[in-house]
Structure 1
Amino acid sequence: MRAVSIRHRKLYEDVAHHLEEMIRDGEFAESGRLPSERELMRHFGVGRPSIREALFHLRKMGLVDIRSGERARVTRPTPQFVINALSSTARHMIAAPRGVHDFQDARVFFEAGLARHAALHATEEDIANFREALEVNRKSIGDLKLFERTDVAFHYVLALVPRNPIFTAIHAALAEWLLEQRQTTLAPGEDQKAYDAHVLIFEAVAAGDPDRSEAAMRAHLDYVVRRYTDVVEGRR
């Protein structure tokens, strides 16, 4: 048999694993306090460094909140917390060859789906919010910095329609990760083109036409991808 290296877990990893199970099983309620460090030391039979490392590990997982002088409090990981934890890795992926293109493709897939869903499920209030975001976007034409923000806000409305916090977290993350793309493509005159594309998306969603909504979103984002590629290649 070929030799296999077996990794032995460190004490703090065992402690963190057991505490995670206890939290998941409801032994420690959400927003409740964990036992003191001294009590945890007695319970697990380990020293203070192992307890503290275990608590820091759980904090990275979004399971506890640690404040100086207080016992750790049990928390629930939010979608935004999970996405934020991925940000560093995502930035490395974007920096890789074709990284931006991969994330652009992901954005097209994601937002085309949101547009289709909105056409089928948006409420009157959703449509009113979408119309307001479009109007704010129109008023920002000519001010590229402001247009950039209102552009993101316009697309964000579609992420709100499913009433799913994971979607809004993903939308916010993609907007942040593709910031360089947005700033590269936005130039005098391009804001008007983007707004015109937004009008087509809004009209299709407001009409309740999922096929036209998806097509309008794809056409808009495909143009953004082509323009980004042209600008970047033109710099070389």
Structure 2
Amino acid sequence: MVDSIIIERKKLFEHVAAHLEAQILAGKLRPGDQLPPERDLQTSFGVGRPAIREALISLQKAGLVELSNGARARVLMPTASHIFTGMAPAVRQMLSKAEGQRHFQGARLFFEVGLAREAAKAATEDDLAALKRALNANRKAIGDREQFTATDIAFHFELAKIARNPIFIALHDQISDWLTEQRVVTLTASGQERTAYNAHKAIYEAIAARDADGAEAAIRNHLEQLASTFWQQRGEGG
């Protein structure tokens, strides 16, 4: 006797979205192309307007189409930024728990260690000049919490740019956004701005010296200090 199997039927909008996505992936619909009017889509798929709207919203969340009031949906070229933005709800859920916060701290450490090592090997003179300008701006911002935060992010952004990979840049931007609370809490510690600047200076000097091991050690010390301070400020230990 065959065991009974329950097969969940897809909702109507999921069928529509899957079909349109397949056309985009096959190149039948290219970036910049407009999709047919919603009425034509309703006729083609034999569904009502709600199913078409839900399908288009689903494709928008996936970064495959752009929706705007009064205009037909337009096919987009997916970007890393679209991909990571779509992860935001799940990430916020993870960050609502201490374990999730620690996991993201570990992910940031792993990611930025790689960026620092790559920067020490591949940074051009222009890259080093940009990183130095960001470092100087960070030093001048000490004492101004809001400005220091902005220049802190800018320093790490310059580090991410050196690898010349748009996925790294998009991931850096998202991590900075996801860990906003950690940055805010950490900077409430006495002397933390000066400590962070000194860490940035050590990272820059190792990269400028083409010392990959030194750059890794410097950024590892920096991020581990930040994590420890965050948990201390939260009253949960290092």
TM-score surpassing 0.5? yes
2:104 is matched with 103
SS of the residue 1:233 aligns to? coil
One-letter identity of the residue aligned with 2:54: E
1:208 is matched with 210
Within the alignment, does 1:86 sit opposite 2:87 as a pair? yes
Distance 1:79 1:172 in 2: 11
Q: Is the 8 A contact 1:144 1:188 kept in 2?
A: no
1:184 is matched with 185
One-letter identity of the residue aligned with 1:50: A
> Which deviates the most, 127-136 or 73-82?
73-82
What is the Cα deviation at residue 96 of structure 1? 1.7
Alignment of 1:1-236 (within 5 A): 1-186=2-187, 187-233=189-235
What is the Cα deviation at residue 139 of structure 1? 0.5
Distance 1:29 1:229 in 2: 48
Q: Deviations over 1:173-215 (max 9, x none)?
A: 1112111211122134211111111111000001111111011
Distance 1:223 1:91 in 2: 23
One-letter identity of the residue aligned with 1:214: E
Tell me, which stretches of 5 or more residues in structure 2 are unaligned? none
What is the Cα deviation at residue 234 of structure 1? 6.6
**Alignment CA distance shift 1:98-1:48 (3 Å):** closer
SS of the residue 2:98 aligns to? coil
Distance 1:91 1:212 in 2: 34
Distance 1:51 1:229 in 2: 47
> Which deviates the most, 127-136 or 145-154?
145-154
Q: Deviations over 1:13-69 (max 9, x none)?
A: 212111111111111221111112232233333333332222222112111112222
User: TM-score scaled to structure 2, two decimals?
Assistant: 0.92
One-letter identity of the residue aligned with 2:203: I
CA RMSD of aligned residues (A): 1.7
What is the Cα deviation at residue 165 of structure 1? 1.5
SS of the residue 1:192 aligns to? helix
Tell me, which stretches of 5 or more residues in structure 1 are unaligned? none
